[in-house]
Amino acid sequence: MPFTRTPTPRELRQDLLLAAVLLVGGILSAGLSSLAKVYGNEQGPLWTAIPYVLVISAAIALRRRRPGPVAVVVSLAFVVATSLKVPEIYAGNIAMFIALYTVGAWMNARRSAFFVRVGIMVVMAAWLVVEMYRQAIDHAAKADVVAGAFSPLVAFLMLQVLLNVLYFGGAYYFGERSWSAARQRAALEQRTQELERERALSAAQAVALDRVRIARELHDVVAHHVSVMGVQAGAARMMIPQDPQAATEIVAGIETSARDAIRDFRQLLDTLRAPGDTEDASSTVDIDDIAELTAASTSAGLRTRLQVIGDPVPVPRVTAVNLYRIAQESLTNARRHAGPDAEADVRIRYEPGSVELEVVNTGRVVTGLRPGLGQLGMRERATASGGTIELVPRPAGGFRVRATLPLTSTPAPERADAPAGGDPRRGTEDA
């Protein structure tokens, strides 16, 4: 969008004030110039200065509204007043400088602004040449004029040329500088507004991400512990008539699950209350705690085996937490959907530069994926650690979750789900 400059009400009031000052100064200048006889015997009557000062003052009052016409009017008034020897020269010179400056500083049509200023300069230069020629003819008969190449008249005329070059050149230069400065300020203000909008958008995105993170943590904690307690409560109800001692042990397991749930909720609340915490402080679990997770899964009725492949290496905190939560969600889903006779295998593979978690369960045949918060949370956790995840049903029944996370925290795009058969390199492990 092209830059346009529009005067504010305050700037328009300043133009009125400037016009009033110019009017008063022009009247005083006219009176003093008349007394000083600036034009000698050829000087015009004093009253002729009044309409001249009124015209240039009124034009200056409108300089930012109509820069081009104001410059033309002031220039013509100056030429007429000088030709008629009106006893006022200072206010007129100031008004013409301001008018030429305003064309460069405020006229939005830049091509027209250029032609207006150049046209006025050409006309004024031609008029100056004519006046200089006329003065040279009038003084040609005087001996002191022709008495050398640099006579007083020639020196005076050269001084007039120099002053006019500086006068018009300064008006042109300062007008262009003002326009460029205004355009730079406008661009800076626009960038500032864009940055402010981006800051507000980033803040909104941060809030949304925090909400997603809280929802994910709550889902992981609630889904796992409530699922375990639900299974244990059902088993206890069935065992009370047959084996009260076993039912008592199951109830103790429910109490343990409840305490674990309360502990996890407290950790989550502490994380939310502490400002500036990152996700690596949102949990105290580690990759080694997956062993306890598999044992708890077995106690809850899903026989679960853990296998560690490779030499264990230190795992970044965020990666360890995400692996734990993925394993937790996978086992929770298996207890819910795999059936009463299902079993699960949890494998942790340490490979060069990465660690892989694979949770495979037997059970009912899964005909299609049903997207939910659990699957979304697992994908988000894998992506947050810069890894990939596969969520695929097994042809023989059951489900497989395989997450491969690097041992660095560089995010990477999530890989699309693999075909139902999985990775050919590990196809024998699904049998």
Question: What does the pLDDT profile of the chain (431 residues) look like in tens digits?
Answer: 678 888 999 999 999 999 999 999 999 988 888 888 877 777 888 888 899 999 999 999 999 999 999 999 999 999 888 888 888 888 989 999 999 999 998 998 889 989 999 999 998 888 888 877 776 666 655 544 444 455 666 676 777 778 888 888 898 999 899 999 988 998 898 888 888 888 888 877 777 776 766 766 666 666 666 666 666 676 666 767 777 766 676 666 666 666 666 666 666 666 555 554 444 444 567 788 888 888 888 887 788 999 999 989 988 888 888 898 899 888 888 888 888 788 999 999 999 989 999 999 998 888 776 666 678 888 888 888 889 999 888 888 889 999 999 987 544 444 434 333 344 333 333 43
In our burial notation (b when 16+ CB lie closer than 10 A, e otherwise), range 52-63 reads bbebbbebbbbb
Among candidate residues 385, 383, 381, 382, the one with its CA nearest the CA of residue 409? 385
Q: What would you report as the CA-atom Rg of the chain, rounded to the nearest whole angstrom?
A: 45
Six-digit token string for 24? 């008063």
Please report the pLDDT score of residue 334 as a whole number: 86
Residue 85 CA to residue 98 CA, distance in Å, equals 22
The whole model's pTM is what? 0.53
The contacts of residue 417 (CB under 8 Å, 6+ apart) are 390, 391, 392
Among candidate residues 117, 35, 132, the one with its CA nearest the CA of residue 82:
132
Is 67 in contact with 107 (CB distance < 8 Å)?
yes
User: Mind spelling out the 3-state secondary structure of 20-37?
Assistant: HHHHHHHHHHHHHHHHHC
**pLDDT at position 363, please?**
87
DSSP 149: T
Contact 102, 14 (CB under 8 A): no
Quick check: 227 and 328 in contact, CB under 8 A?
A: no
Superfamily of domain 288-406: Histidine kinase-like ATPase, C-terminal domain (3.30.565.10)
Bridge-based pairing of strands 354-361 and 343-351 is: antiparallel
Domain ranges of the chain: 288-406
Confidence at residue 102, expressed as pLDDT on a 0 to 100 scale: 92
Q: CA triplet 9, 11, 17: central angle to 5 degrees?
A: 110
Within the chain, how many helices (H) and strands (E) appear? 10, 5
241: exposed, middle or buried (C-beta count within 10 Å: 0-12, 13-18, 19+)?
Answer: exposed
CB 339 within 8 A of CB 301: no
